[in-house]
Amino acid sequence: MLSKKATCKSHGQDSSYFLGWQEYDKNPFDPVANPSGIIQMGLAENQLSFDLLESWIARNQEISGFKKIFRELALFQDYHGLPVFKKELAAYMSEIRQNKVKFDPNKVVLTAGATSANETLMFCLAEPGEAFLIPTPYYPGFDRDLKWRTGVEIIPVHCHSSNNFRITDSSLEEAYKQAQNLQLKVKGIFITNPSNPLGTTLTINELNLIINFAINQDIHIVSDEIYTGTVFDSPRFISIIELISSKEESKNIWSRVHVVSSLSKDLGVPGFRIGMIYSNNDTLLAAATKMSSFGLISSQTQYLMSKILGDKKFIRNYVKENRRRLRNRQKILVCGLKKVGIRCLKGNSGLFCWVDMRLVLKSDTFEAEMEVWREIIGEYLINVCPGSSCHCVEPGWFRVCFANMAKQTLELAVARIQALVINFNAT
Ligand SMILES: Cc1ncc(COP(=O)(O)O)c(C=O)c1O
C-alpha cells in the first residue's frame, strides 16, 4: 500500500535504542507516583539548568508573552529566518567555542534541529547509494537521520577500546577500502565532536588525520558539534573550523567542511527544534537554504531565542553554570560505578558516560550484551543504551545518561546498577 521510501527498514526503529524507550513508556519512574518504575538513562536530554531559563522568562514577561509582536510573528516568514536570530545564534556559536572561531550569520542555514540539518547535508552532498564514513560507536539516530530518506549508505570506521576509541589512520583506510569493496563511492566523512556516545572531544591529532584524509581522498567533512556547549572539563574543545582556518594547507578543503549544531543539548531545548548548518560553500548554502523550507523553526521560537541569546551576560553565566552542573553529575555516576568496579571511559563532555560493563557479561558476545540489557531494564528498572545500538564492535559497553533527572533519581539509579553488579558477583 505504501511507498518503498515510507516502509524502508533503514529507519532503525527496531533497534534496542528505540525499544528501550518503549519499555520506559510502559512504566516510567516517578519519585512519588511510581518509585518502582523504570529510570530513563537512555535519553540524552539536559534538564539541569531549566531553572536559569525559567527565571529569565519570568523576568522578561513582555518578551516571552509575545504581546507586542504577535501579528508580525504570525504572518508568513521566508525560509532564510529572522536576521536578528541568525546574528545572535552565530554569536552564541562563537561564544561556546571561546571565540576561537568567528561565525558569520550569512553562512548559517536554519533547520528544525540538528536532525534536519544532518539529513539536509546528506541530501545536498551525496546521491542515493553513495557513502559517508562514520567512526563508531555513533549516535543510533544517525541510521534514521542520514540514511533513511536520503538513500545514503553509512560505512563504519571501527574504533576500539584498546586506544580509548580514538580514530586512527588505519581505521580510516580500512573503512575506505570496505566502501570500495562494496563498490560504493565515498562522498565524505561524518564526525561527531564532542562524541555521542563517548562523551569525549576529538584530539588535534585525530582532527589532523581526518583533514588530511579528506584532502587526499577529495571528500567532504561533516562535523556534528551539537555537544560543544556541554564540554565541562579539559582538554578543551577544538572545532574542525578552528583548525582549518589556522592552516594554510587546509585552505583547499575550506569549502568541503560543514558544521552542524543545535540548541537541543547545551540549552536543553530539544522541543524548540533549533538547528543549523554552517558552511563556507556558497552552492551548498543556497541548496540547503531552499531545502530548509521543509523544516523551519517557527518565528515565535526564533524571536524568543534571539532575545535570550542576545542577553550576553545571562548566556555567559548560563554556559558556565550549566558546565559546572554537568561536571558534578558526571562525577556522581563515575564515582558510584567505580565503587563496584565498573569503569567509565574518561570523558570531558556530553550528557552521558560510556560505561564498560564487560565485567557482568557471561560471554564476550552481543547476545550476552543483550541479555544484560534485558536484565537491566526488566529487573533493575533502568533504560540504558547498549553499545551494539551505537554500532560498537566490542560487546559490553553501554551509554548511560546522567543529565535528564533529579540528583536523587541519579543516586537511586546508581544504587540499582551497583545492586546488579553485586548480585552478579555473588552468583
Ligand atoms: C550527535 C547528535 N546529532 C544530532 C542529534 C539530534 O539533535 P536535535 O534534537 O537538535 O535534532 C542528536 C540527539 O541526540 C545527537 O546526539
Report H helices in 246-391.
Answer: 282-291, 299-310, 312-338, 366-378
Do 111 and 242 have their domain in common? yes
Q: Would you call 426 helix, strand, or coil by DSSP?
A: helix
On whether the CB atoms of residues 280 and 255 are closer than 8 A, the answer is yes
> In the chain, pLDDT over 70 holds for what percent of residues?
100
Find out whether the beta carbon of 135 lies less than 6 Å from any atom of ligand 1.
no
**Residues with catalytic roles:** 139, 224, 226, 265
- Mean of pLDDT values over 156-182: 98
Domain end position, chosen among 282, 311, 340: 311
pTM equals 0.96
Expressed as residue numbers, the domain containing 26 is 4-51+314-426
Do 323 and 360 have their domain in common? yes
CA pair distance 259, 217, nearest whole angstrom: 19
Domain end position, chosen among 311, 339, 362: 311
* Ranges 160-164, 166-170, 423-427: which has the least confidence: 423-427
Find out whether the beta carbon of 264 lies less than 6 Å from any atom of ligand 1.
yes
- Model confidence over 329-362: pLDDT tens digits? 999 999 999 999 999 999 999 999 999 999 999 9
Do 263 and 335 have their domain in common? no
Backbone angle region of 252, left / alpha / beta, with phi > 0 → left and psi within -120 to 50 → alpha:
alpha
Q: Which amino acid is at 95?
A: E
pLDDT computed for residue 21 by the predictor = 86
Please name the helix (run of DSSP H) or strand (run of DSSP E) that holds residue 279, with its range, or none.
Answer: strand 275-279
Do 82 and 219 have their domain in common? yes
User: Ligand 1, closest atom to CA 117?
Assistant: 11
CA of 268 to the centre of ligand 1 (A): 11
Find out whether the beta carbon of 250 lies less than 6 Å from any atom of ligand 1.
no
What is the Rg, in whole angstroms, of the alpha carbon atoms belonging to the chain?
21
- Say which CATH number the domain at 248 has: 3.40.640.10
Provide the number of structural domains found in the chain: 2
Find out whether the beta carbon of 119 lies less than 6 Å from any atom of ligand 1.
no
Domain end position, chosen among 311, 346, 367: 311
**Confidence class for position 247, pLDDT limits 50, 70, 90:** confident
| The C-alpha cell that represents 151 in the structure block | 538513500
Q: Which residue has the CA at smallest separation from atom 13 of ligand 1?
A: 44
**Confidence class for position 102, pLDDT limits 50, 70, 90:** very high
Do 32 and 118 have their domain in common? no
User: Ligand 1, closest atom to CA 274?
Assistant: 10
Do 70 and 208 have their domain in common? yes
Beta strand pairing call for 397-401 and 352-356: antiparallel
Find out whether the beta carbon of 139 lies less than 6 Å from any atom of ligand 1.
yes
Average per-residue pLDDT for the chain:
95
Find out whether the beta carbon of 46 lies less than 6 Å from any atom of ligand 1.
no
CA of 158 to the centre of ligand 1 (A): 21
Do 332 and 214 have their domain in common? no
On whether the CB atoms of residues 74 and 52 are closer than 8 A, the answer is no
Do 179 and 290 have their domain in common? yes
User: Ligand 1, closest atom to CA 118?
Assistant: 4
- Say which CATH number the domain at 387 has: 3.90.1150.10
Do 110 and 236 have their domain in common? yes
CA pair distance 269, 396, nearest whole angstrom: 31
Burial 271-299 (b: 16+ CB within 10 A, else e): ebbbbbbbbbbeebbebbbebbeebbbeb
